[in-house]
Every structure is written in C-alpha cells, then in structure tokens.
Structure 1
C-alpha cells in the first residue's frame, strides 16, 4: 500500500462510529445521484469521512480549507477512489487555493461541507452560478459559523446550513480534547521544548482555549488566560488560571497560543516586549490572529526552519510556528485532532449531510442547529463501540421531568 492508503487505513480502524454509519449508508444510499462539494483539511481522518459519503452514493469533490493542512499522499490516495475527486495540494498559493475551490464548484454540488466557510463565501460572491444547484450545507468550525451568522443576519445567506460546530459532541470533545491535545503535540514535536514550568499564555477561553489551558496545566505549565468576555474570564479564574490582559501577559509568557477566531490578537505592540525565545502559535482557523506581516517587515533578520520562522527584533528572537496558521495541522508533522475525536465530529458531519439531503429543501435559508437526535445518536454509537451502558429514564421519571404540576 502507498503511504496515503496506509494513513487512511490506520485512521479507519480507530473510527468505529463512522464505520457503523458507513455500513448503513452502503445499504440505504442516502446520497444517490447527488454531488457533495467539500473544503476541509485533507488528511487521513477526513478521508474516512469522504469514503463514507461516497459509500452512501455521493460523487464527492474535495479540496483543502487551509493551504498548509493538506497531506499530499492522502489527497493522492483519495483521488484514486471511485466517485472521489481531490484537488487539494499542500503549500498552494492563494490563487491556486481558490482555483481548487472553483474546481469543486464546477461540479455544481447539491450539498456543501465547509471548514471555515470558504466554499459558501465563494458561491455567494464569485460563483453565484452555483447557487441554484445547492440544497444546503454543513459548517464544521467556529470561525465559519461566525461568518455564516453574519451573512444570515444581513439576509445574504441563500440556502440552509447546519452548524455542525455548535453541537455538544463537537464542543465537548473536538474543541476541548481535540484542539488541546493536538495543538500541544504539534508545538512539542516542532520545537522539542519542555512544557513543564513554562508560562503558557492562552488567548481566548472558549471551548478550544479551555481545552488547551487544561491540557497545558496537566503537563506542568503555569497557564495565563487572556479574554475579552467577562464571563469567560471569570470562569477561567474560577478554574484556577491566572487572568490578565495580553499587554500584561506579553512580558511574562514563554509560549503564546491564540484560540479566539478573531483578528489582531498578537500585534506590533506586543512583539517587542516579549522574552527572547518566545514561541507563538495559533490554534484558530485563519492566520489573522498573529500579525506575521508586521514581524516580517520589521525584523532585523529572519531564519526559516521546518515549521518555525524566527524573527529577530532588537536582538531578541520571536519564533512563529506554522506561519501563524493552524498549529495542529500546518506544521510539517502536524496530524490534526486525534482520530477518536474526529470519529465523533465527522459522524455528526455525515449524519448532518444526510439530514440536508433528506430535508434541505424544506428548510429556510439560514443557520440551523444539528437535530438533537443526531448528536445524541452519535454519542450512543460511541458508547456502544466502547462497550459502555448507561441508565434510561423510567416512565415515572419522564413524567416528572415534563410536568409542572408535581411539586414538593
């Protein structure tokens, strides 16, 4: 087997939930006659999702959602599968990146699956000729949902999109455990530095930041959290982390990781105040949280290594990982979220795509929640795969929980 096939086979054996869904898809063919267009991180776990959709009867066209997150051998392996067409390439220029998205859209997909909303953005701007073909879409990540809700609020979103990112199964496992473990793993394997004892600054205390802070503390880091939301800041304080502004944290941190999904988190006012050897990484979707352009324009010198760009400012080195892109995927050895975590998220994704295939024409344009039965069903499939049993409510308990007349 080629390396891409080996990677996909490895991932598949640790994705029992998606395997269970695939068996049903093979029998029922919910996507028969449909084309699905995807812009996701093209790596082994994504490949298992793509194979699952193709097994359900779909013709799948896929490209990347980040120029540095594609594993070329996996993309090549996918392109050999019947009914699957892959256009992703690691290191694509901006022009090549959008050309690949256009190739996906040339297939006129009935369903879109996005991680960051670039497909939907392209459809609503440069490729409005595709609008009439689309029944609906699914969005995988927080940044994409923010963009979609802004579109919907302005009345610009022309078809229904399921917010896969917003389910408990995504938040509790993908965001917390997936982002936390994979980001730290990429930082450690890229730099070979010790986490224990370091001042570890986490920008943002959403689900991703929360997981990263907890995992870093478990490795012995002294964690500082910066926030703009007073409730999340208070939560971080109650969880036992130091809370302060980024301006105050700048001269303390040894490692900085941004998880906000917003722009301009580490900027020109922060870099000159950092320690010599400070390490900067981003765990948000787009490369806008760290102002790498300012560093490149003002550094006395720059040294490029695999996955690390070192900028020297007034004799002090600042190390940026993965060009400020997603650190868990864009470093040379970044593997993304752990397999078992993505089994859950991609199971929700597959079932949400099936929901769109069956009910998309009935839904109004806008952002829609994942039906709770899908989210709960994925959890039950995972429990079954683990051999775990849980209690069920008795009829009396169900009555009690749904009644307003039963009091003290």
Structure 2
C-alpha cells in the first residue's frame, strides 16, 4: 500500500512538472506531435535507456500513437523512480533495475529483446546484442553511445542498426559542449568543491573528454589529459592542456574524470597510484570505466549522497555516483536538461522513421543515422532559436 501511495504522489508531482518540461523541450514537442498524428497501432518498441524526465517526452507520443512499449533502465544510478511510476501508469512495461540483482537485470534484458519487435532504441548496445543473440527479427534499431558501438561492432547483426552517436548533432555539439556544460555544475553540487587552481585529469580526449577539459579550464582548473592517440594528444596541447602518460597523471591529480566509453580504464594498477584525497568520477556511458568492483573490496562508507570514501593503501579515494555518469546522476530534479532537447528529438524522429517502415530494404549491419532526418531536427532547432 505504501508503494502505491508513493507512486501516486510521484505521478502527481511529475504531472505538474510536465507542462514546464514541454515548454523547455519545444523540438521534442514538435516531433512528438508528428508521432501522435501517425497510426502506429500494433507496432512494438523495446528500449534500454536512462529513465529521466526527458524519457517521458521521448516515449509517451509512441504510447499515444498505439505502440506497445517496453523500457529498461540502462543504468540504475540515472533512474528517476517518478519516471518509472509515470510510465508504468500509462501502460508501459518498465524495468528500473534499481534494486534487482544482476541476474534479474540480464533475464529482463533477454526477455525485452525477444520478439516480436519492430524497433529498438538502445543506449549501451546491450539490448541490440541480446536481440542479435536471440535471433529476433527487427525492422531496425538506434544506438546512441560509444560504449554501445564498441559492444555491437564485433556482432554479426541480423537487422540494420543506425548509429546516431557519430552524427554532427550528437558528436560535435552534445558530446563536446553539453556534457561539459552539465558535468561541472553537477560536480560542484555533489561535492561543494571549486575547480580554481585544482589539478584535473581527463582520461580520454574524444568529443566528451574535450568538452569536459575545455570547460574545466574555463573554471580555473589546471587540466592534464591522458590519451593514447598521438593526434588527440596534439589536439589537447592546442586546447591548452598538459598531456602525460596515465600512470604519471593519476599520481598527481586531485580530480580524475574518465571519458572513454570503455570498461576498466582505471583498474587496480591505476587506482593504486592515486594520491590521497583524489576525487574520481566518470562521464562515459559505461559505469565500469572505473573499477568499482575492485574498490568495493576495500573499506568504504558513504560520506553524503553520491560520494563514497574508500581506504586504499593508507589513502582516501572519493568516488562519485558509483562510477556512473555524473552529469545525469539522479538528484531529484524534475526539470530535465533543456540541452538534451535536440537529442531526444533525434530519437523520436528516428523511431518514427523505423516504425513507419523507413528502413525497409536496408541490409543488416551498422549504418549511419539518416542525414535527412538529422537535417530535419537541426532545421526545427534553428526555427526554435529564431523565435527565442
């Protein structure tokens, strides 16, 4: 009974916030209206994604257009329980993954990937991988992350997958500018720390790492980059950052942020070198870029929300948000980030295209997100800016 009352209260709270959310996400509202005008009855959509307020704007137009929707939380640390309750109350099958053991997570992933399905929307490649292993026939899928691309590239795909992580809207704009824009305010809110004069290490200098490093420098940090690619090392120097080998860099940094999209970037060897009092966090999709399992073998306790202190070799290390994306850590904020509006729109427009048989005749395998759809979203975004 308590859970039911809590869910009703959560839904009421979220209903009150949705009007503002729609106001701050006009591009998503525009493409959502297009979806509602379509007849998508009997279509089936499975998603594995962050369950945040923006997710309501992405999925509810399809529910209202007659699509049968199931969605799982790709990361428990970015799951808003109010969003879970809201979607479930509107007929969406939801797996939030916050309290369940890993075995149930894997079982649900396999079940959600089992047909019949018409389309998949994935963040991390796990649902696409599960559908591929299950042999589920699908018209097409969307993948949004570098981590997901690493996961699915070795697979022999039986259906077309469209990569929107690499499109200019996502890679050159969101990954570079918006992640950095959201990361450091989240860091300050969680820790209360200033970056002025702080030695910050950014591990990885792709678009995400570049934006995080650039914004840290603007906030007064002394930024070092650890990057294996010599071209990106040179680029980091042109951004005014130092470059060092990873082992040397972690030993001196006060704040360490991973931005590679790959598991195990900071493992036992690197974590053992960190200085006393180092603060570690991640902005890549994978919540195992930092080896949290190894850290958990050490004495540790929660200092405050999203901060855990670990005793490692006589030193204290502070891990933020359990190694999950800090920029979308669940903090109770119902506003949703307006900067994600164009990227919710990329998903909405892409899914409408897939569910309207837009991918018919496209062979299985990994493909670029259709440029014509990206231009539609960009054009709508420019129209919104012109009215601002």
Secondary structure, in 3 states, of the residue corresponding to 2:358?
helix
Q: How many correspondences in the alignment?
A: 376
Mapped pair 1:374 → 2:385 = no
* Inter-CA distance 65–262: structure 2 relative to 1 (3 Å threshold): same
Are the counterparts in 2 of residues 69 and 90 from structure 1 also a CA contact under 8 Å? Answer: no
Deviation at 1:7, TM superposition (A): 4.4
Question: Which position in structure 2 is the counterpart of 1:40?
Answer: 49
CA deviation string 1:233-276 (max 9, x = no partner): 11111111111111121222110000011232222222333222
Question: Which position in structure 2 is the counterpart of 1:85?
Answer: 93
* Inter-CA distance 336–23: structure 2 relative to 1 (3 Å threshold): closer
Are the counterparts in 2 of residues 182 and 335 from structure 1 also a CA contact under 8 Å? Answer: no
* Inter-CA distance 5–101: structure 2 relative to 1 (3 Å threshold): farther
Are the counterparts in 2 of residues 67 and 97 from structure 1 also a CA contact under 8 Å? Answer: no
Structure 1 moving runs of 4+ over 4 Å: 334-338
Question: Which position in structure 1 is the counterpart of 2:66?
Answer: 57
TM alignment of 1:384-395, pairs within 5 A: 384-387=383-386
Deviation at 1:363, TM superposition (A): 0.9
Are the counterparts in 2 of residues 173 and 341 from structure 1 also a CA contact under 8 Å? Answer: no
Give the Cα–Cα distance (whole angstroms) in 1 for the partners of residues 333 and 325 of structure 2.
11
Give the Cα–Cα distance (whole angstroms) in 2 for the partners of residues 268 and 188 of structure 1.
27
Secondary structure, in 3 states, of the residue corresponding to 2:228?
coil
Question: Which position in structure 2 is the counterpart of 1:333?
Answer: 331
Q: TM-score with structure 1 length normalisation?
A: 0.86
Question: Which position in structure 2 is the counterpart of 1:11?
Answer: 21
* Inter-CA distance 366–187: structure 2 relative to 1 (3 Å threshold): same
Are the counterparts in 2 of residues 257 and 283 from structure 1 also a CA contact under 8 Å? Answer: yes
| Structure 1 vs Structure 2 CA RMSD | 2.2
Give the Cα–Cα distance (whole angstroms) in 2 for the partners of residues 268 and 95 of structure 1.
25
Question: Which position in structure 2 is the counterpart of 1:95?
Answer: 103
TM alignment of 1:85-124, pairs within 5 A: 85-105=93-113, 108-124=116-132
Are the counterparts in 2 of residues 189 and 333 from structure 1 also a CA contact under 8 Å? Answer: no
Give the Cα–Cα distance (whole angstroms) in 2 for the partners of residues 3 and 381 of structure 1.
30
Which range is displaced more, 375-384 or 89-98? 89-98
Question: Which position in structure 2 is the counterpart of 1:73?
Answer: 82
Q: Which runs of 5+ in 1 are unaligned?
A: 390-408
Deviation at 1:342, TM superposition (A): 1.6
Question: Which position in structure 2 is the counterpart of 1:404?
Answer: none
Give the Cα–Cα distance (whole angstroms) in 1 for the partners of residues 92 and 264 of structure 2.
38
Q: TM-score with structure 2 length normalisation?
A: 0.90
Larger radius of gyration: 1
Deviation at 1:57, TM superposition (A): 3.5
Give the Cα–Cα distance (whole angstroms) in 2 for the partners of residues 262 and 368 of structure 1.
21
TM alignment of 1:308-347, pairs within 5 A: 308-329=307-328, 331-333=329-331, 339-347=337-345
* Inter-CA distance 196–236: structure 2 relative to 1 (3 Å threshold): same
Question: Which position in structure 2 is the counterpart of 1:398?
Answer: none
